Chains A and B, each alone.
Chain A
Amino acid sequence: DAGVTQSPTHLIKTRGQHVTLRCSPISGHKSVSWYQQVLGQGPQFIFQYYEKEERGRGNFPDRFSARQFPNYSSELNVNALLLGDSALYLCASRRLAAQETQYFGPGTRLLVL
């Protein structure tokens, strides 16, 4: 089975621009979570989606938004990019329950200039 996939792999944007990152979960997984990993740190939780609804949100500004589609894929949107948004954005999927293991995609490396 294919693992979690993310696109694009790398992205360069300038301050003030908008970006959309995409994630496809493992087949049969209904929950998708997004994490931001700044260089040298562990991942920080941004959003969790299940059945197209936001089920959890981390401590991130409203510039960050996400959605989940009927096929359980997901998009993460970031508006008005800041230099500090430069990071690796990871998507993780799991079947359903909170305690189930999350499986991560390869991430999207975003650089904001």
Chain B
Amino acid sequence: AQTVTQSQPEMSVQEAETVTLSCTYDTSESDYYLFWYKQPPSRQMILVIRQEAYKQQNATENRFSVNFQKAAKSFSLKISDSQLGDAAMYFCAYIFGGSQGNLIFGKGTKLSVKP
């Protein structure tokens, strides 16, 4: 069964510093996609970044980047120059190409940003 594990229930970072959120997943599929979503207190789930498993290059999106280690089934999110607006729940999610189309989510990491 495919599973996604986020081992850090809570993390804290100082404004302008860098923080890394961890995610591991378990799958036997070769064609899959990984995502990080952000959910602020407003509840709206917002896409942060996406990684295709067939791509060796790590995805980046402005201050957000991932460290995708396919062999280790690890997919961590690095947030650089943290801002107060980055405070939210962060969910790692997985989907494989032949699936019914449902994302499998981890339990989330609550990120606090200290001024």
Instruction: Decide: A104 and B44 in contact? CB cutoff 8 A.
Output: yes
Q: How long is the Cα–Cα vector from A101 to B34 in the complex, in angstroms?
A: 10
Instruction: Decide: B101 and A56 in contact? CB cutoff 8 A.
Output: yes
Known: A42-B106, A43-B105, A101-B35. A55 touches B44 (CB 8 A): no
Q: How long is the Cα–Cα vector from A98 to B44 in the complex, in angstroms?
A: 21
Interface size on A, residues (CB 8 A): 30
Q: Which residues of A contact B68 (CB under 8 A)?
A: none
Taking the complex as formed, is A48 at the interface, i.e. its CB lies under 8 A from any CB of chain B? yes
Known: A33-B102, A48-B100, A98-B98. A42 touches B107 (CB 8 A): yes
- The binding surface of chain A is classed by DSSP as strand
Q: Which residues of B contact A97 (CB under 8 A)?
A: 97
Taking the complex as formed, is A25 at the interface, i.e. its CB lies under 8 A from any CB of chain B? no
Instruction: Decide: A48 and B102 in contact? CB cutoff 8 A.
Output: yes
**Nearest CB to that of B92 among chain A residues?**
A42
Interface residues of A in 69-93 (CB under 8 A from B): 88, 90, 92
A-B contacts counted at CB < 8 A amount to: 70
**Nearest CB to that of A102 among chain B residues?**
B103
Q: Which residues of A contact B106 (CB under 8 A)?
A: 42
Instruction: Decide: A106 and B50 in contact? CB cutoff 8 A.
Output: no
CB distance from B38 to the nearest CB of A (A): 11
Q: Which residues of B contact A102 (CB under 8 A)?
A: 103
Interface residues of A in 36-55 (CB under 8 A from B): 40-45, 48, 50, 55
Q: How long is the Cα–Cα vector from A106 to B4 in the complex, in angstroms?
A: 23
Taking the complex as formed, is A28 at the interface, i.e. its CB lies under 8 A from any CB of chain B? no
**Nearest CB to that of A108 among chain B residues?**
B43
A98-B101, A104-B46, A106-B43 are known; give 15 further A-B pairs, CB within 8 A. Answer: A31-B101, A42-B93, A42-B105, A43-B103, A48-B100, A48-B101, A88-B43, A92-B45, A98-B95, A98-B100, A99-B52, A104-B44, A104-B45, A105-B44, A107-B44
A residues lining the B interface (CB < 8 Å): 31, 33, 35, 40-45, 48, 50, 55-58, 88, 90, 92, 94, 97-99, 101-107, 109
